[in-house]
Amino acid sequence: MGDPLLAGVTVLDLSSVGPAARTSRWLADYGARVVKVGPPPKQSGVQIVPPFYAYSGHRGMERVLLDLRSDAGRDAFLRLAARADVVIESFRPGVVDRLGIGAGAVRAHNPGIVYCSTSGYGQTGPRSQWAGHDLNYLAVGGYLDCSGRNAEGGPALPGATIGDAAGGGMQAVIAILAALLHRAATGEGAVLDVSVADGVVGLMSLYVDEYLATGEVPKPGHNILTGRYACYDVYRCADDRWIAVAAIEPHFFANLCRALGCEHWLEHQTDDAVQDAMRADFAAAIARRTRDEWVAELGPSDTCVSEVATVPELVHAGHFRERDVFVRADAPGHGGFEQVGWVFAGMRRNQPGPTVRDETITDTDALLGEAGYSAEEIAALREEGVAA
């Protein structure tokens, strides 16, 4: 099969949760050597410790514990960074510089480093010091206002952390890969300012660009993708489960109308005056049969219909099972369990199931040894509480 796509790339990750942790997770899944850098046990309150299964249990990663607030811990980190390709950090802007491990300090030891800082609002700007979470970034980036409404008429809470995952984590992965390609061609490193809020604006560009060009204000029901037409909606079935209908193209819409016995709407797909009536007819027709009956008939019939699956349903779905989307893992104290596998294109899907390591086990001695520390020096760092 050949080496993984990022074999030979070493990443130091200073994060524990959030967009940066997603970034290193995906880089590791592409074959990078990822070293998680955390505080010694005496500083256990400094970082959030995610559940054993979160971020795929940090499968395939190594771990070093250093007191970065000490001179010796800072120097150890810089020696590790001198041998790395990528550093990822997610502290509040300015913190890494105060610790002496910011981009400038690392680049002094390794000019070719790709230094990626992830934050909610970016390293600059009037909100750079604001605290926030996924919902805040989706809110300021326009995502919530263009989404569906809850019972009170306000924006509905999203079902996934779109900002953290795509606006932040995927943006960082893309930026890091682009920087590594640039370095391969020029030898130059890069300093990356990944703002989750900026990333959400990028995800919203289809609507933002429309407003900037035309003055049209996007809202729920504004266009075909946000509920304006009956051909793009969700419908309740006889068993109180739901199907998603996305029959945008006219020939898909025509197939849908015929299958539902609603041929009288064939010429009115985007006629605003009749959308309520059309939606009511579709809803009445769909309510006569169960969800799985409709999916079995309409799914393969070029109607762009699918089930609205629950998480328990999707993890047992034959399609995902055949594509090796899930793998079996083991964790000390927790036994065997399943997790999402190596699902992105270019990842090696058919790997053996991973073992999630005991969180008390570190690779500190080996990693510091690689950085040039002697056994005596490592022992001294441990004795001083600088390393663990």
Residues tagged active-site: 133, 164
Place of tokens 């949760």: 17
Specify whether the CB–CB gap between 39 and 322 falls below 8 A: no
